[in-house]
Copies of this chain bind each other. A is one copy, B any other.
Amino acid sequence: MYLKKLKCLNCGKEYAPGSFSYKCSQCGGILEIQYDYNSVIKSGFKEKMLNCRHIPNIWYFKELLPLENEKNIITLEEGNTPIIRSKIFVRDKDKPRLDFKDESRNPTCSFKDRPLSVAISKVKEDGKNWVITSTHGNAGIALAAYSARAGLNSLVIVPNKSPEDSLAVIQAYGTKVFKIKGDISDAYNFSLEISDEFNIVNLATTFLSPYTTEGDKTIAFEIFCQYNGVLPDWILFPIGDGPLLVGCYKGFKELLDLDLINKIPRLVAVQSEKCAPIARAYINNIDEVEVWDKDEETIAMGINEPLKGYPEDGTITLKRIKDSGGLAITVNENEIKGAMFDLIRKEGLFPEPTGSVGFAGAKKLYAQNYLKKEDKVLVLLTGGGMTDICIYKKLQTEPKLIDKDLGAFKNIWQNEISG
């Protein structure tokens, strides 16, 4: 379509578009995809964005997605996730307007369907038939679903502490799942050995390949359309290594370059304090992110990302945060759980712990007076809780078996329900 070249963010080397690509072969730098923007403008893309009334799926934005031929699109109607006004924030006149973008409404309950729809379509375009990824769960489920739809074979490498529910879902699609001892960085590094050895496509949703971040950027485009071009002042993201934030930055930058907006929102990375390499660098005012050496568990497993072997991923994320005038902050375990149960019990939404981290960050920034009454704030709920129900089972007791006896139930009502 309008794919023009791939360019290394580090050394500037350029590559012609072709088959599925990874990092720069010259320096190992992260590649970015560039389009023929003049042709994109001539195609009527700007008018389509300005007059958007309905986004059937992310391929609405196909002019700025990296396929050569749209017949290779593999879609499960991902994207077009709703923006939902916070009930907690709306009640109080002194609070800013706060909305959620609920990515759990994607086909497999997380935003990962966006990068995987793009990446699997590209693999299909190349005629390859095996894919691999490393994952705690969400990226693996998305890989499994899109591979099934595309008729590709797939396998995933997971840390042994990954949620068993998510692994069962991945297996149900027919994807092979192998656990290894270690964390997500270990799983990623081993998946690279395997993809090298067997010459299969590695679809890690890190910065390994620029195709996946192109999927992530569709969130920025949707935000533009859903707010009719009047963007939020702040957008909060749960962050592991950060391709979602970097992808969204690129999306907003493209809108800026197309004169569709005049300012990029302030992008806020929220990390768990148990694993916060990017926030640590931000707080210490260091430009280069370093590997996180502590091995601590967090309930927000999806962003438990120490960057072992690829700290430069964190550095590019940190750069984009600063470019946007944003922040990187941490939240603790209680703040994450509190935000999650606020979302479930007061908003009626159902995020996984990781998906709640952005809201934990928003509550903290509001308490610290960063978010003002006149601000418009958007929190990304990146994934749903349905793919890790074990979490909730651990936090509550099993339902009671009772007799079908109204007399006995009156006591239960009085003692356990109405009280």
On A, residues with C-beta under 8 Å from B are 53-54, 56-57, 76-77, 82, 84, 87, 102, 105, 107-109, 145-151, 155, 158, 160, 164-165, 167-169, 171-174, 176-182, 186, 190, 193-194, 197-198, 341, 344-350, 384-387, 389, 392-393, 395-396, 398-404, 406, 409-410, 412-413, 416-417
Query: 10 A-B residue contacts at CB 8 Å?
Result: A53-B54, A77-B82, A148-B348, A168-B389, A178-B402, A180-B404, A181-B404, A182-B404, A190-B404, A386-B387
Cross-chain contact A402 with B179 (CB below 8 angstroms): yes
Known A-B contacts A173-B345, A197-B410; the reply to A168 vs B350 at CB < 8 A is: no
Q: Are B173 and A348 in contact (CB under 8 A)?
A: yes
Residue of B nearest to A348 (CB): B149
- A401 close to B180 (CB less than 8 A): yes
Known interface pairs A168-B396, A344-B173. Does A417 touch B181 (Cβ–Cβ under 8 Å)? no
CB–CB B82/A169 < 8 A: no
CB of A148 within 8 A of CB of B347, answer yes
Protomer copies: 2
Asked if A180 and B403 sit within 8 Å, CB to CB, the answer is: yes
- Give the CA-CA distance A281 to B180 in the complex, in Å: 55
**Distance to closest chain B CB from A189 (angstroms):** 8
Complex interface: chain B residues within 8 A of A169 (CB): 350, 385-386, 389, 392
B residues in contact with A179, CB < 8 Å: 399-402
CA distance A417 to B410 in the complex (A): 58
Q: Which residues of B contact A349 (CB under 8 A)?
A: 76, 107, 145
Contact across chains for A404 and B197 when beta carbons are under 8 A apart:
no
Return chain B residues, CB-CB under 8 Å to A395. Answer: 172
Q: Residues of B contacting A84 with CB < 8 Å?
A: 76-77
Measured between C-beta atoms, what is the minimum distance from A203 to chain B in Å?
A: 15
> 3 nearest interchain CB pairs?
A149-B348, A77-B82, A54-B54
Quick one: closest B residue to A175, CB to CB?
A: B345
Is A344 a contact partner of B148 (Cβ separation < 8 A)?
Answer: yes
| Residues of chain B lying within 8 A (CB to CB) of residue A53 | 53-54
Other-chain residue from B174, B178, B347 in contact with A149 (beta carbon distance below 8 A): B347
